[in-house]
Amino acid sequence: MNILVAGLGLIGASIAKTLKKNTNHHVLGWNRTESVTAKALADGAIDETGAIEDLIPLADITIINFYTEAIVPFVLENRNKFKKGSIVTDSCGIKTKICRTLEKEEFDFTFIGAHPMAGREVSGYDASLPTLFDNASFICTPTNAPKAKTDTLVELAKEMGFKRTVVTTPEHHDEMIAFTSQIAHVLACSYVLSPLAPQHPGFSAGSYRDVSRVARINGEMWSELFIANKEPLIREIDDLTGNLLKFREAIESENSSLLIELMDRANKIKEEIG
Amino acid sequence: MNILVAGLGLIGASIAKTLKKNTNHHVLGWNRTESVTAKALADGAIDETGAIEDLIPLADITIINFYTEAIVPFVLENRNKFKKGSIVTDSCGIKTKICRTLEKEEFDFTFIGAHPMAGREVSGYDASLPTLFDNASFICTPTNAPKAKTDTLVELAKEMGFKRTVVTTPEHHDEMIAFTSQIAHVLACSYVLSPLAPQHPGFSAGSYRDVSRVARINGEMWSELFIANKEPLIREIDDLTGNLLKFREAIESENSSLLIELMDRANKIKEEIG
């Protein structure tokens, strides 16, 4: 197949490199900043490049790796250029807004929202890795897509080496991602914004390092993702602050049996589920 | 020197193993459960054991590795048995309560509170490692101890291989530890107590893993530590929930410039300080 990777930042370029490493598909690549495309070509991360309007009609699968707000406009603007019968997918971290908008349209290609679940604290082409998805989940949210098209996309993810593939609804994806990823970023940032953070050297160990890691964040990208997933994320923030207040009250009233009960429940979840 | 390590759980046994690996001191070891002491002796983690009342008078330095509430009573009960001119120290994660109580007493030995800052999600002798402190800070809070005694203890920490030594007040230690360690444990537990946590497999990646890691917790030990450090910890919980509410309001009102500003500040702290 001809696979077009549009957008060669951390995720797009890692997808391109993974396709080159683990599959025999022909990889077309495109990036808004041309110097990045040239570098990807020189690195062998892509096989071919060109003007986006020339690449789109060639692709059996187009993978769009843009910021949240740019995905729907890109699909709609190019609606008459995508190859008939082809699959168009994306790698954006939220799915409901994108998939429920695009499923209302009539296309002669199939749009299937997807989320290859991996990331790094650094971004851009130079941070991309051919191994980024080795232990990752590939989640797709096909809504009304024909089963055969979903199967093709899932097969590609397996061929690429994703550890696990999940097919679900956009709503379930977004609710889970609000918990597993978005709130983790919100709390890492909230944590390092403590006035004591700058004094931590000499007083910190593994727990500071791990809890604060994802505060290395691309604010522009994540603010779009947070706002696009507002309701599930606010529910998670409310759950989290509710639990923090339970701890606060138990500590304030020196209620050690309640504290032990809360921690034993948390410990059990980590022990049993990981 | 004869160094007595009293309590051979994760921290005590790691101290004993580190002393054996990196120094030539004679290591006396004692644990309430005798089978643990026997194992430590068989492993070469300690050189010698015996009844606690026979070991205490021999030690030039006694390192007490018990739960928070047991440290002051142990020092007071054995006040007439410690070797004259010796140093008695501990490894407890909070310092004000212990040090400000013991500094009021007249001893013919010197008590210096200490905190070798390392830990694991697992506890007990079998989890102990001779490398646990390789990248760790050794913090001590001498209050009114003579400088020569503090210097001896700090030298020992350097000999053991601690990466960094910090001498400070118990109050500053406790405030910093509330931020770097205790609140990180509170928030990891609060996080995994979300009703969505059990469904995370397939939807999680590095951020879930890292933020939730320290929810593998010994509730009994940590509830003592939290209550003993109540005021600084509650201040940190209030700071954290205050920051979470700033994020909540910015997301609710779709204020992306405020969200970007909050994340840029957090990112800058991580970038500059780590």
Give me the mean pLDDT over the B146-160 stretch: 98
Confidence of residue B165 (pLDDT cuts 50, 70, 90): very high
Residue in A234, A263, A267 to test binding to B, most B beta-carbons within 10 Å: A263
Between positions 174 and 233 of B, the ones with CB within 8 A of A are 175-177, 179-181, 183-208, 210-220, 222-224, 226-227, 230, 233
Give me the mean pLDDT over the B57-78 stretch: 97
Read off the pLDDT of residues A79-103 as tens digits, 9 standing for 90 and up: 999 999 999 999 999 999 999 999 9
- Report how far residue A217's alpha carbon sits from residue A239's, in angstroms, rounded to the nearest whole number: 23
Read off the pLDDT of residues A183-238 as tens digits, 9 standing for 90 and up: 999 999 999 999 999 999 999 989 999 999 999 999 999 999 999 999 999 999 99
Amino acid B214: pLDDT: 93
Amino acid B60: pLDDT: 98
Confidence of residue A122 (pLDDT cuts 50, 70, 90): confident
Q: Is the pLDDT of residue B111 over 90?
A: yes
Q: Residues of B with CB below 8 A from A243's CB?
A: 189-191, 193-194
Residue in B168, B172, B210, B264 to test binding to A, most A beta-carbons within 10 Å: B210
pTM for the full predicted model: 0.90
Q: Is the pLDDT of residue A151 over 90?
A: yes
Paired with B88 in beta bridges are B62, B111
Of B173, B175, B193, the CB nearest to A266: B193
Residue in B94, B187, B245, B246 to test binding to A, most A beta-carbons within 10 Å: B187
* ipTM, interface predicted TM-score of the complex: 0.90
Confidence of residue A121 (pLDDT cuts 50, 70, 90): confident
- Report how far residue B141's alpha carbon sits from residue B250's, in angstroms, rounded to the nearest whole number: 41
Inter-chain contact B243–A189, Cβ cutoff 8 Å?
A: yes
Amino acid B119: pLDDT: 87
Q: Is the pLDDT of residue A271 over 90?
A: yes
Nearest to B237 by CA among A217, A215, A196: A196
Q: 3-class DSSP state for residue B219? A: helix
- Report how far residue B196's alpha carbon sits from residue A176's, in angstroms, rounded to the nearest whole number: 7
- Report how far residue B128's alpha carbon sits from residue B19's, in angstroms, rounded to the nearest whole number: 13
Confidence of residue A119 (pLDDT cuts 50, 70, 90): confident
DSSP characters over chain A = -EEEEE--SHHHHHHHHHHHHH---EEEEE-SSHHHHHHHHHHTS-SB---HHHHGGG-SEEEE---HHHHHHHHHHTTTTSPTT-EEEE--S--HHHHHHHTTS--SSEEEEEEEE---SS-SGGG--TTTTTT-EEEEE-TT--HHHHHHHHHHHHHHT-SEEEE--HHHHHHHHIIIIIHHHHHHHHHHTSTTGGG-TTS--HHHHHHHGGGS--HHHHHHHHHHTHHHHHHHHHHHHHHHHHHHHHHHTT-HHHHHHHHHHHHHHHHHH-
Of A191, A219, A256, the CB nearest to B267: A219
Q: 3-class DSSP state for residue B17? A: helix
Confidence of residue A37 (pLDDT cuts 50, 70, 90): very high
Q: Residues of A with CB below 8 A from B236's CB?
A: 194, 196
Give me the mean pLDDT over the B192-218 stretch: 94
